Amino acid sequence: MLLDRIKSLDGILLAAVFGLMICGLVALYSTSQSGGGANFFLSQARWIMLGTVVMLVFAYLPNRFFYELAYPIYIISILFLIMVLFWGSTTYGATRWLRIGGVGFQPSEFAKIATLLAVARYLSDERMEINRPKIFLIASGLIALPFLLVAKQPDLGTGLVFAVITLPIFFWVGLKTNYLILIVTPVIAFATSFNIYLFIIVLAAIIYFLYRIRFSILWGIGYLLLNISLWFVRSIFWNQLKDYQKKRITTFWNPEADPLGAGYQIIQSKVAIGSGGFFGKGFLDGSQTQLRFLPEQHTDFIFAVIGEEFGFVGVVIVLALFTWLLLRIIHLSNIFRNEFSSIVAIGVGTMLGFHTFVNIGMTIGLAPVTGLPLPFISYGGSALLTNLVMIGFLLNFYRHRYIY
Amino acid sequence: MSNINFRSGNPRKLFYYGIISAAMLLLLGGFYNLQILQESVYRGQSEKNSIKRETRIPVRGHIYDRNWGRFQLTGTGVDSLRQVGVPFQLLRKLMPLKSRVFDSEAAFLDSLSVRGGKAEINRYKNAFLRYCQMGKLIVDNRPSFALYLVPALTTRAQLDSLSSIINISVDQMRRNFRRSRRFQPVKIARYVDYRTLVKLQENRLDFPGLEWKVEPKRHYYFKSSYAHVLGTLGEIGEDELGRDDSYEPGDIVGKKGIEKVLDKVLRGEKGYRFVKMDAVGRRVEEIAFPENAFPYPGKDLYLTIDARLQRYADSLFADRNGAFVAVDVRNGEILTLLSKPDYDLNLFAEAVDPEVWKTLMSDSLKPLFDRVTQATYPPGSTYKMVAAIAGLNEGIVSPNWSVFCPGYFRIGRRTIRCWNAGGHGEVDAVSAIRGSCNVYFYKLGLKIGIDQWADYSTRFLFGKLTEVELTAEKPGLVPSKKYYDRIYGKNGWTKGILANIAIGQGELLVTPLQMAQFAMILANNGTNHQLHLRRKLVDKIPRYRLTDKSFQQMAEENISPEILSALSPLKDQEYSHKSLIKKLDSHIGLIESNELRPKILGSAEKRFAKPDTFATQSTEITGISPEVFEIVREGMRQVVAGGTGWRAGVWRKTGGGKTGTAQNPHGDTHAWYIGFAPFDNPEIAIAVIFENGGGGGAVAAPVAGKYLQRYFHYKGEFDYREYREFQRILYEKQKEQALQDSIQAAQAVADSLQNLAPNNQD
User: How do residues A306-347 score in pLDDT, each as one tens digit?
Assistant: 999 999 999 999 999 999 999 999 999 999 989 999 999 999
The string of pLDDT tens digits covering residues A385-399 is 999 999 999 999 999
State the Cα–Cα distance between residues B260 and B422, nearest whole angstrom: 52
Query: Which pLDDT value is given to residue B14?
Result: 92
pLDDT grade for B433, boundaries at 50, 70 and 90: very high
- A287 vs B279: CB contact, 8 Å cut-off? yes
Question: What local confidence, expressed as pLDDT, does residue A92 receive?
Answer: 54
Cβ pair A272:B46 closer than 8 A: yes
Work out the pLDDT band at A93, boundaries 50, 70, 90: low
Helix (H) or strand (E) holding B327: strand B322-328
Residue A404 lies in a domain: no
Q: How far is A291 from chain B (nearest CA, A)?
A: 6
What CA–CA distances, in Å, run from A132 to A125, A204, A253?
Answer: 14, 28, 39
Q: What is the pLDDT of residues B641-677, one digit of tens each?
A: 988 999 999 999 999 999 999 998 888 999 999 999 9
Residues in chain A within 8 Å Cβ distance of B21: 323
- Greatest alpha-carbon pair distance for chain B in Å reads 164
Closest chain A residue to the Cα of B178, Cα to Cα: A35
CA angle centred on A123, ends A119 and A125, rounded to 5°? 135
Lowest mean pLDDT among A9-13, A223-227, B388-392: A223-227
How far apart, in whole angstroms, are the C-alpha atoms of residue A352 and residue B66? 66
Per mean pLDDT, which range of A252-266, B400-414, B631-645, B717-731 is the poorest? Answer: A252-266
Residue count of chain B:
762
For chain B, the C-alpha Rg in angstroms (whole number) is 36
Greatest alpha-carbon pair distance for chain A in Å reads 69
| B35:A307 CB<8 A | yes
Average pLDDT over residues B210-219: 84
At B421, is the pLDDT very low, low, confident or very high (cuts 50, 70, 90)? Answer: confident
pLDDT confidence band for A37 (50 / 70 / 90): very low
Instruction: Please check the confidence at residue B1 and state whether its pLDDT lies above 80.
Output: no
Report yes or no: A104 at the B interface, CB cutoff 8 Å. Answer: no
Average pLDDT of the segment spanning B581-591 = 80
Cβ separation of B42 and A275 shorter than 8 Å? yes
pLDDT per residue as tens digits for the range A124-168: 988 888 888 899 999 999 999 999 988 887 777 788 888 889 999
Residue A176 at interface with chain B, using a CB cutoff of 8 Å:
no
Q: Is the pLDDT of residue A210 over 90?
A: no
| Nearest alpha-carbon partner for A141 in A172, A112, A119, A110 | A119
CA distance B549 to B605: 9
Instruction: Report the mean per-residue pLDDT for chain A.
Output: 86
Instruction: Work out the average pLDDT over B416-427.
Output: 87
The SS3 assignment for B170 reads helix
B605 φ/ψ angles, rounded to the nearest 5 degrees: -80, 135
Calpha distance B402→B441 (Å, rounded): 11
ipTM for the predicted complex comes to 0.91
Minimum CA–CA partner of B30 in chain A: A364
Cβ–Cβ contact B609 with A under 8 A: no
Given pLDDT bands bounded at 50, 70 and 90, which one contains residue A258?
Answer: low
DSSP string across A145-188 = HHHHHHHTTT-HHHHHHHHHHHHHHHHHTT--HHHHHHHHHHHH
Give the separation between CA A115 and CA A73, rounded to whole angstroms.
9
CA dist A164 and A347 (Å) reads 9
Instruction: Assess whether pLDDT exceeds 90 at residue A353.
Output: yes
CA distance B232 to chain A (A): 23
**CA atoms within 13 Å, Cβ hemisphere of A3:** 0
Q: How many CB pairs under 8 A join A and B?
A: 157
| Contact residues, B window 317-336, toward A, CB-based 8 Å cutoff | none
Per-residue model confidence as pLDDT tens digits over B495-546: 778 888 889 998 999 999 999 999 999 999 999 999 999 999 999 888 899 9
Question: What are the tens digits of pLDDT across the range A259-304?
Answer: 555 577 788 889 889 989 999 888 877 777 766 667 677 888 899 9
For a pLDDT cut of 70, what percent of chain A falls above it?
89
Of the residues B14, B15, B35, the best mutation for testing chain A's interface (the one with the most A CB atoms within 10 Å of its CB) is B35
Residues of B in contact with A361 (CB under 8 A): 26-27, 30
For residue B761, the model assigns a pLDDT of: 45
**The domain containing residue A126 runs over which residues?**
2-399
Band the pLDDT of B302: cuts 50, 70, 90: very high
- Contact of A263 with chain B, judged by CB distance below 8 Å, is answered with no
Highest mean pLDDT of the ranges A92-96, B474-478, B481-485: B474-478
Number of folded domains that form chain A:
1
Separation CA B283–CA B289 (nearest Å):
15
- Asked whether residue A266 is domain-assigned, the answer is yes
Q: Do A330 and B16 lie within an 8 Å CB cutoff?
A: yes
- Please report how many Cα atoms fall inside a 13 Å half-sphere around the Cα of residue B746, on the Cβ side: 6
Q: pLDDT at position B281, please?
A: 56
State phi, psi for A60 to the nearest 5 degrees: -100, 10
| A202 domain residue, yes or no | yes
| Cross-chain residue pair A366–B182, CB shorter than 8 Å | no
What residues of chain B, 185 to 244, have a C-beta less than 8 Å from chain A?
241
Strand (E) or helix (H) holding B754: helix B720-761
Query: 10 Å Cβ neighbour count for A52?
Result: 17
pLDDT confidence of residue B364: 87
Average pLDDT of chain B to the nearest whole number:
88
- Minimum mean pLDDT among A63-77, A78-92, A360-374, B292-306: which range? A78-92
Q: How far apart are CA B746 and CA B750, in angstroms?
A: 6
> Quick one: pLDDT at residue B273?
81
For chain B, percent of residues with pLDDT exceeding 90: 52
Give CA–CA dist B147/B214, Å, rounded.
9
Asked if A364 and B27 come within 8 Å (Cβ–Cβ), the reply is yes
Alpha carbons B652 and B655: distance in angstroms, whole number: 10
Judge whether A129 is closer than 8 Å to chain B, CB to CB: yes
Q: Which residues pair with B53 in a beta bridge?
A: B274
The answer to whether residue A219 scores a pLDDT higher than 50 is yes
Buried b (16+ CB within 10 A) or exposed e, B581-617: bebbbeebebebbbebbeebbebbeeeeeeeeebeee
Tell me, yes or no, if the pTM score tops 0.80: no
As a whole number of angstroms, the distance between CA B694 and CA B404 comes to: 27
Can you tell me the mean pLDDT for B5-24?
A: 90
Contact B671, B695 (CB under 8 A): yes
B7 pLDDT more than 90: no
Amino acid at the residue A369: V
- For residue B597, CA distances in Å to A258, B18, B584 come to 22, 58, 8
Least confident of A50-54, B182-186, B336-340: B182-186
| Cβ contact B2–A292 (<8 Å) | no
